Structure 1
Amino acid sequence: MSSPPKRVAQYVYLKPEYLQDYKKCHAAVWPEVLKQIKDCNIEDYSIFYDDAKSLLFASFKYVGSDWDSDMKAMSANPKVREWWDMTDKMQESPFPGATGSASGPWWKPVDEVFHCA
Structure 2
Amino acid sequence: MNRTAFKMKLKPGYKEEYKKRHDNLWPGLKTLLKNAGVSDYSIFIDEETDTLFAVQRTAGTGGSQDLGKEALVKQWWAYMADIMEVNPDNSPVSVPLEEVFYLE
TM-score (norm 1): 0.77
**Structure with greater helix share of residues:** 1
Q: Does 1:82 align with 2:65?
A: no
Secondary structure at the residue paired with 1:76? coil
Q: Choose from 42, 57, 62 the match for 2:58.
A: 62
1:87 aligned partner, one-letter code: M
Corresponding position of 1:52? 48
Rg (Cα) greater in structure: 1
Q: Report if aligned partners of 2:9, 2:93 keep a CA contact under 8 Å in 1.
A: no
In 2, Cα distance between equivalents of 1:41 and 1:62: 5
Give 1:91 shift: 1.2
Give 1:12 shift: 1.1
2:60 aligned partner, one-letter code: G
Give 1:116 shift: 0.6
Unaligned runs of 5+ in 2: none
Give 1:17 shift: 2.7
Q: Report if aligned partners of 1:32, 1:80 keep a CA contact under 8 Å in 2.
A: no
Secondary structure at the residue paired with 1:75? coil
Unaligned runs of 5+ in 1: none
1:58-88 CA-to-partner distances (Å, cap 9, x unmatched) read: 00011124x38x92xx223222211111113
Once superposed, which parts of structure 1, at least 4 consecutive aligned residues long, lie more than 6 Å away?
none
